Amino acid sequence: MIRAIVNWVAILASLAALIASGLWLWGERIWSRPPAPDAVSGTEDPGYRAFVHGPIGLEIFPLKYAAVIEAVSGHAFRRDGADPRSLWEIYGFLPNPRATGAPLCAANARDQLPYGFTITRTLPGRAADTPVAFVGLTCAACHSGRIRHAGGVSAIIDGMGNPEIDVIGFSEAVRTAVLDPGLTADRILQAYAEQCPGDDPGPVMAAIERWLIAAWLDGFRASVAEGLRRYGLPRWPHGAEIAAPDTPRHLLEPAGPGRTRPFRSVVRVALDLPGEDNHAFSKIPVVFEQRRDLRPRSQFDGSIRDPVVRAFIAAYASGAAPVTLARPEVAATIRDAARWTETLGIDSPVPSLAEIFPDLPAPDPALLAAGAAAYREDCAICHGWRDLETGRWIAEGALLHRHLPLDRIGTDPERVTFPHGRLLPLALWTALPGAGELLAAQRRRLDAARSAALAASRMGEAQIWAELRARLDRSARQFRLGHPLAFAECTGPDCSACAAEAPGARAPDPACALTATAGYYTNPIPRPWLRAPFLHNGSVPTLRQLLNLDDRPVAFCRGANAYDPVAIGLIARETLDPADCPPETPFLFDTRLRGNSNAGHDFPFTRAEVLADPARAARLEAIIAYLGRI
Amino acid sequence: MPRAPAITLPLAAFAAALAFVVAGGVMAGDVALFRAHATAWMSALMAMPAMWHFLRRAGRRPLGQSWRLWWTAGWLMIVIHMWWGLGALHQWDAASVFARQGLAIAGPTFLLELVWTVDVVLAWTRRDWADARGWAGAWHWFAWALAAACFFVSLILFRNDAASLWTGALMLAVLLSALLRRLAAMEEA
């Protein structure tokens, strides 16, 4: 009798397990569907949708945690409790134009989450679809911004680098939050239930949610804990483990608002090497008019040829795993968003300085004409010029689309001389396996690089290439048909020039997909007024300072800076003491620190030359007037 | 004491295996890759009792329900393996499997899918399935040998990972034990 009962119980339990498995698999097909376009966007342009709403594999945490993050982890994101701003505001995320101020719940999340957030059901770092919603970043989180003026703030301008977002500080704070042992799935779900009492998932879904959130938390926590030995302890907002409690922010975590340390991340993810000695700070760039004929190479150092490869590397360096990037909707987003940026500002409108500042007096036509002429004589050689009649950017200039060596441009060198930079092109190219001949070429190049390193007794480097070869073999098994974002090493039939690329090369082969050079690349500068602060590291607040019409500040306050349409750039209090910085701009940008130099780009005149000759100053005033219109 | 129906264990094992495949995929780094691998392990594990039964009994005693049920469970799992291995990893492009693995590896794998399917159909449609003679009996042997060879190559010779190796080693041990039992029984007879 007992045996019969056990028997039937086993059979029924087995049938229940089969049904549950089947339902889960059926559910995965539903959870993997992207949201209907009209639910998230007012435009049908797939490029815009991809840029603003499309997932790029950067899911961070569960939506329900995002909803209650202030309540359960607020202390991890704040150094002290005095700042009244929301957690999102503190870190410079853009408020959603559709936000109503209602508590963030699942039902209204698309309207209440900051701009540049998306909702998917993909478990972070994996290719698994689940019933639990996760929030992730889109291109727009970093590459959209606003202008602060006397009347408030402008509408969001897609394509400009967000000068306020503090992504490094935010990611450090997320590490701190996740390591908090008091953060549990139960605590998150309990706080959410209190905040959104009408959102009851039912007992089965609640159990699944608890399991998945706990699994996410365990996995994330383990990954952060493992990374402590490689990345160091979290430096912000509580860096007391590594420095005195009152250490100013800019000395604890020196990137600050509007900047990232992209190559520290790339070195970590592509080479699995520590990046702590990396001071290659980079402001978040604008992505207007990225058309290939205007910008044959992108990045400040011209290290990437293809906009899609650029978009892939941006997501990859920010933490997107290859397996997530291989998801069809993610790969499509990367391609569509990159394509959209090629014509953003050409086919898609971007507001002008005059539209943002309607009260700004229009420049005298004679001054504008003089400025256009002076710009063409002094600046177009490197940047090309805008025809004010047609609005077209003319990519003509003797030094346009060239690598300017460091000794010629004189700007901060860290961005192009950081450790391991020489290894990156091959490491990045082989991060995504191709198929067939492309895969064979990737294997050959890694083997050749290892042989060359061994022959030169660079044993550490040889070990790296051996490990990357093993990684390539593993991922080739994973992506049997090749990764959908895998790319060719070069455009021509012979990649030998690319293979020979090395730091210091003065004229890299333009066919190379990726290069490593010790110089900065000359590209067009459409809408220079939206590029503040200036230079690749954001070390010069205004265009007048960049052109040496005004002195460049030694140190200044950064954060939510207001905009000066006359000086064309950010209004930043100059001070050497972080205690003098106003609450809305608390970060002290000290140009004396490594990676922050504001020297160089003394074109067309040095500061001394401008001071010595008023005619030069007048000429630059005219150029400024022109730059405010292009 | 009444005996438990023969279906209980194979059904429970299949349900547990499928749950492992589904849930493990969610926790693994790559759903499709994990499930493609895990279904191969599970297929081998479930085919093992059937192959053990078969090697001991074929041609000497009726095969019994256990063989038929475990053999069917293993086949069902290999069909699911096809879903992820061919469908998810290769986008149903069989030619790409041949291009990647070569005819010597891909050919027997696809042949096994076909032969195993026919064998399961025979097992459930022929009245003499338990003691088949002639071409049907030969087909049972062919399917068994092909499955053993394919699992041996894919689990042991490929050395994909520790789980595959352990599964292959277990299968080898089970089959060797069945062979020894059969030889011993033949000697006794």
Within a domain: A196: yes
Q: Do A128 and B14 lie within an 8 Å CB cutoff?
A: no
Inter-residue contact A531 to A601 (CB < 8 Å)? no
* Domain match, A225 and A360 both: no
Whether residue B128 lies within 8 A of chain A, CB to CB, comes out as no
Q: Do A11 and B5 lie within an 8 Å CB cutoff?
A: yes
Facing B26 at nearest CB: one of A11, A128, A436: A128
* Domain match, A377 and A237 both: no
Q: Tokens at residue A233, please?
A: 């302890």
The predicted structure's pLDDT at residue A234: 84
Within a domain: A334: no
The predicted structure's pLDDT at residue B188: 82
pLDDT at B3 over 80: no
Inter-residue contact A386 to A393 (CB < 8 Å)? yes
d(CA B23, CA B38): 11
A48 band by pLDDT with thresholds 50, 70 and 90: very high
Whether residue A7 lies within 8 A of chain B, CB to CB, comes out as yes
Domain count, chain B: 1
The predicted structure's pLDDT at residue A577: 95
Distances in Å between the Cα of A157 and the Cα atoms of A133, A163, A218, A608, B1 are 28, 12, 38, 36, 78
Inter-residue contact A530 to A160 (CB < 8 Å)? yes
Put simply, the chain A residues between 193 and 212 with a CB less than 8 A from any chain B CB are 212
Domain end residue (candidates: A195, A228, A249): A249
Domain count, chain A: 2
Domain end residue (candidates: A194, A215, A249): A249
- Which letter does DSSP use for residue A579 in this model? G
**How many contacts (CB atoms, under 8 Å) link A and B?**
84
pLDDT at A500 over 70: no
The least confident of A30-44, A274-288, A392-406, B26-40 is A30-44
Chain B: nearest CA to A445, how far in angstroms?
Answer: 20
Within a domain: B2: no
Dihedral of the alpha carbons of A4, A9, A11, A12, in degrees to the nearest 10: 140
The predicted structure's pLDDT at residue B161: 87
Q: Are strands A259-260 and A282-283 parallel, antiparallel or unpaired?
A: antiparallel
A545 Cα distance to chain centroid: 26
Within a domain: A593: yes
Within a domain: A330: no
d(CA A547, CA A570): 15
> Domain span at residue A371?
353-414+522-627
d(CA B2, CA A521): 83
The predicted structure's pLDDT at residue B100: 84
Top-confidence residue, A59 or A495: A59
Within a domain: A509: no
Q: Do B14 and A21 lie within an 8 Å CB cutoff?
A: no
The predicted structure's pLDDT at residue A240: 58
Closest CA to B120 of B22, B37, B54: B54
Within a domain: A483: no
Report, in angstroms and rounded to the nearest whole number, the Rg of chain B calculated over CA atoms. Answer: 17
d(CA A62, CA A194): 17
Within a domain: B133: yes
pLDDT per residue as tens digits for the range A582-629: 999 999 999 999 999 999 999 999 999 999 999 999 999 999 999 999
Whether residue A10 lies within 8 A of chain B, CB to CB, comes out as yes
The predicted structure's pLDDT at residue A596: 98
The least confident of A490-494, A554-558, B66-70 is A490-494
The predicted structure's pLDDT at residue A410: 95
Q: Locate tokens 């990684």: which residue?
A: A471
> Domain span at residue B39?
8-188
Q: Tokens at residue A212, please?
A: 């998945």
Whether residue A481 lies within 8 A of chain B, CB to CB, comes out as yes
Within a domain: B61: yes
Helix or strand (DSSP H, E) at A149: strand A148-149
B1 band by pLDDT with thresholds 50, 70 and 90: very low
Query: Which own/partner pairs from B180-186 qualify as long-range (CB within 8 Å, at least 24 positions apart)?
Result: B181/B56, B182/B55, B182/B56, B182/B60, B185/B56, B185/B60, B186/B60
pLDDT at A36 over 80: no
Chain A: nearest CA to B61, how far in angstroms?
Answer: 27
Top-confidence residue, B6 or B35: B35
Within a domain: B45: yes
Q: Do B26 and A20 lie within an 8 Å CB cutoff?
A: no
Q: What angle do CA A261, A265, A271 make, to 5 degrees?
A: 140
The predicted structure's pLDDT at residue B2: 46
A206 band by pLDDT with thresholds 50, 70 and 90: very high
A179: left (phi over 0), alpha (psi -120 to 50) or beta: alpha
DSSP H stretches of helix in A303-360: 307-317, 322-325, 328-343, 353-356
Q: Do B15 and A128 lie within an 8 Å CB cutoff?
A: no
Mean pLDDT of A215-242: 84
Chain A: nearest CA to B22, how far in angstroms?
Answer: 7
Chain B: nearest CA to A88, how far in angstroms?
Answer: 30
Domain end residue (candidates: A227, A249, A271): A249
Inter-residue contact A184 to A217 (CB < 8 Å)? yes
Other Cβ atoms within 10 Å of A37 Cβ, number: 14
Q: Do A4 and B2 lie within an 8 Å CB cutoff?
A: yes
The least confident of A6-15, A365-374, A479-488, B4-13 is B4-13
Dihedral of the alpha carbons of A254, A259, A260, A262, in degrees to the nearest 10: -120
Chain B: nearest CA to A479, how far in angstroms?
Answer: 7
* Domain match, A357 and A224 both: no
A40 band by pLDDT with thresholds 50, 70 and 90: low
Within a domain: A186: yes
B4 band by pLDDT with thresholds 50, 70 and 90: low
pLDDT per residue as tens digits for the range A159-201: 999 999 999 999 999 999 999 999 999 999 999 999 999 999 9
d(CA A237, CA A513): 38
Mean pLDDT of A456-463: 97
The predicted structure's pLDDT at residue A125: 83
Using a 10 angstrom Cβ sphere, with 0-12 exposed, 13-18 middle and 19 or more buried, the burial of residue A403 is buried
A32 band by pLDDT with thresholds 50, 70 and 90: confident
Within a domain: A17: no
User: What is the ipTM score, two decimals?
Assistant: 0.91
Mean pLDDT of A298-319: 93
pLDDT per residue as tens digits for the range B78-125: 999 999 999 999 999 999 999 888 898 899 999 999 999 999 999 999
